[in-house]
Structure 1
């Protein structure tokens, strides 16, 4: 049952990701990206990683998607009907995508995965995993965590300045 749910969620997530890539309207592509992020969060829930699911929704769906949609709305000429719809590179991109798919398929089938060989079962995390993650954020990873937060603040300030200049 759990495997069937995983397959359904994976197919829905991959479908949303595919629509993100092939949709020509940038705003619709961003909305498909939101659906992809929700699908990833659902897979995290299925894997009993509830904290990662909540973080996925808060950070990616809440913040990153909002930032992407905000950037699309501030861009000029995105909704221009005279915009070029085809650039002639579909063959090259399709070839690289097929090559990447084959390489990844070969890697996935030839790597001896520890979970498949009787390793630790997926989803059994220690009870204090979130506490250890929090301790890591204020311990050895405090500087990278603060740099990332400052980068996000600078990006938001830059977006506000760009928006105010256009008024």
Structure 2
């Protein structure tokens, strides 16, 4: 029952986010959508992904979007509004995708899926959290690619800071 509540909340707030013209309201609808998806991840016992969802998307990206909207210049002290274009094409594509997804869901025979047949009632077994297994995997098997990715992100940050500085000043 809780899954359907989170799914309905994510769907409704996602639709509101796409259909509203006010960018600030769209950002708050995105917040509600991301929180609902994090709730779904918690229900799927993917606690690490839920925490990453909250920290990266809700804590970082969404706050950056909100600051960008709120600190942007306003035209004659009016709210920042977006222009909705191609409503008819967008509605038709969304309708076709919805019909296709509903057809696929209704035609699937869930009893013959191999992972459902092999599943037991004890979902997690001995393991109580996925965070420890992911942490051990990150710090043992994939530590070199992890560090290379962090070095590339640091170089990209330095490059963007250099591009954003005034061209007359030398570093």
Structural RMSD (CA): 3.8
Query: Given the superposition, is the C-alpha separation of residues 98 and 13 from structure 1 closer, same or farther in structure 2, using an over 3 Å criterion?
Result: same
1:4-153 alignment, distance < 5 Å = 4-73=1-70, 75-76=72-73, 85-87=83-85, 89-113=86-110, 114=113, 117-121=116-120, 124-125=123-124, 127=127, 129-138=130-139, 139-140=141-142, 142-143=144-145, 146-147=148-149, 150-151=152-153
TM-score by length of structure 1 reads 0.71
CA displacement 1:81-114 (0-9 Å, x = unmatched): 6967443x11111000011112222233334553
Which structure is higher in RCO with an 8 Å CA cutoff and minimum separation 6? 2
Q: Which runs of 5+ in 1 are unaligned?
A: none
- TM-score of the aligned structures, taking structure 2 as reference length: 0.69
Distance 1:156 1:66 in 2: 22
Q: How many residues align?
A: 160
Gapped runs of 5+ residues in structure 2?
167-171
8 Å contact from structure 2 (residues 7, 36) kept in 1: yes
